[in-house]
Structure 1
């Protein structure tokens, strides 16, 4: 019997602008003190898992969240561009309160599959990128445990795809800072979503060493 490949999707910890600004791919945004504590806690929750590889979005906040897990597991952090945040184009750095007043925001929330950020990426393209990246990583680590540090929207899109949920419903999935969502892949079978937005319990029971 082929052993499943576990992909753990970890959102980066909090930053000084979490919940107020759409930071996108702008460089220079680091974890807050609370975010660093969340990164340490996430690493502790993964203790006991036989982690084979650690990957991260190239953005600082994701790499900083990955660092404690890399230190605990002894696995280096490999940057993977496929795990990047959605490219919000002209909306990068905008305040969420202002964006919520735009008529386009209703499309973002209720029909995201039809939306493309001005001079940026579309949600459909983001999902396709994220799914293809996870396919490549699970093929490279077949039967292993892989931890991927990414961002809320790409993780939501990956979880929705694994659940067989239409992209237009992906905004219903909550992905909190430093939360862990786990997808199990077995050859010849549909993916199984083992947990979503886990923020407290230990995860060592997912796979024996």
Structure 2
């Protein structure tokens, strides 16, 4: 059975201007070493600089593998719940119906392009953002749309999803930071106790 293997990753740690920090570059180099052990066919990235630069670093470790931009991977809010949980209410302040509709269209485009069987055996890396990784996992699990809110994603954490013809997708790994030493893990999250 032909399987589409997606390796969805969040970009490396970035500064407030969207450029990779030294930590983000090191995180991405370590992720690239891990991905170099896989038979990667393509690397796709968001148009935003932090994702594009991360994809470039990964591409340097994958000779001959094409690295291309995919507009569907851009950072956006994929779903605005009608009644957001109280902890998220402030986050959604100011989102109007037009913004919510635009985010939903981008989320649909992301799923339509990447979250389905490809017809052949493929291994693709998606260098994107936390919300898009969460949306792909939510979609693979066929969870209600608002469930993306509870899925955090660390910088350069690896999520692996497989898509098969005639079968439900399988989430093999979610938010795996095993390629990072302890001092490079848990960036991209707010303060708090981490396992």
TM-score (ref. length: structure 2): 0.77
Q: Secondary structure at the match of 2:41?
A: strand
Preserved contact between residue 56 and residue 66 of structure 1 (Cα < 8 Å): yes
Give the counterpart of 2:146 among 168, 172, 180. 168
Aligned-residue CA RMSD (Å): 2.9
TM-score (ref. length: structure 1): 0.72
The answer to whether the aligner puts 1:78 opposite 2:57 as a matched pair is no
Superposed counterparts of 1:84-163, under 5 Å: 84-86=74-76, 106=85, 109=88, 117-118=95-96, 120-122=99-101, 123-135=103-115, 138-139=117-118, 142-163=120-141
In 2, the alpha carbon distance for the partners of 1:48 and 1:86 equals 31
In 2, the alpha carbon distance for the partners of 1:6 and 1:77 equals 16
The answer to whether the aligner puts 1:196 opposite 2:178 as a matched pair is no
Measure how far apart 1:72 and its partner are: 1.2
- Structure 1 residues 132-163: Cα deviation after superposition (integer angstroms, max 9, x where no partner): 12147x52x72110001111111101110101
Structure 1 alignment gaps of length 5 or more: 18-27, 89-103, 203-209
- 4+ residue runs over 6 A deviation: none
* Compared CA separation, residues 165 and 109, structure 1 to 2 (3 A): farther
Residue equivalent to 1:177: 155
Measure how far apart 1:106 and its partner are: 4.7
In 2, the alpha carbon distance for the partners of 1:191 and 1:115 equals 34
| Pairs aligned (count) | 172
In 1, the alpha carbon distance for the partners of 2:93 and 2:127 equals 25
* Compared CA separation, residues 116 and 82, structure 1 to 2 (3 A): farther
- Structure 1 residues 102-159: Cα deviation after superposition (integer angstroms, max 9, x where no partner): xx9757837x9x99834534453343122112147x52x7211000111111110111
In 1, the alpha carbon distance for the partners of 2:93 and 2:7 equals 28
